[in-house]
């Protein structure tokens, strides 16, 4: 049986020279390379504690937060949602085992 690769979000760090492209497979990985925590907290309009919760448990993100994150990072909403959906599904499956 062929294993299908998990979806990723291609993310470019524009201020590095040369630009670095990341392919994070989890929301936490994306947030790690996305820039400052403050920037995302401000975009989401949440506390730092809520940001940390979202990072640990991507299934707790609201649709609006994910849409805003896609806009802030200039990434495709579809790719971002696919990563979060896959990650949340994997965690749910692991907790049922």
Q: Give me the pLDDT at residue 5, please.
A: 64
Domain CATH code at residue 34: 1.10.260.40
Which residues constitute the domain of residue 69? 11-87
Distance of alpha carbon 97 from alpha carbon 95, whole angstroms: 5
pLDDT digits (tens, 9 = 90+) for 53-73: 988 888 788 999 999 988 888
Residues with Cβ within 8 Å of 64's Cβ and at least 6 positions away in sequence, in order, are: none
Tokens of 71: 């806009």
Percent of the chain whose pLDDT exceeds 90: 16
The model's pTM is 0.71
Confirm whether 2 is domain-assigned: no
Question: Which residues are registered as beta bridge partners of 11?
Answer: 22
**Count of domains in the chain?**
1
Does 95 reside within a domain?
no
Look at 46 and 86; give whichever has higher pLDDT.
46
Indicate whether 85 pLDDT > 60. Answer: yes
């Amino acid at each position: 049986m062929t294993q299908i690769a998990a979806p990723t979000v291609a993310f470019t760090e524009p201020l590095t020279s040369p630009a670095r492209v990341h392919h994070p497979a989890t929301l936490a990985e994306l947030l790690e390379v996305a820039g400052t925590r403050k920037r995302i907290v401000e975009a989401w309009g949440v506390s730092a504690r809520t940001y940390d919760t979202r990072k640990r448990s991507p299934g707790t993100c609201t649709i609006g937060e994910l849409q805003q994150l896609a806009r802030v990072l200039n990434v495709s909403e579809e790719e971002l949602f696919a990563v979060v959906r896959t990650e949340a599904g994997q965690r749910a499956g692991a907790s049922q085992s």
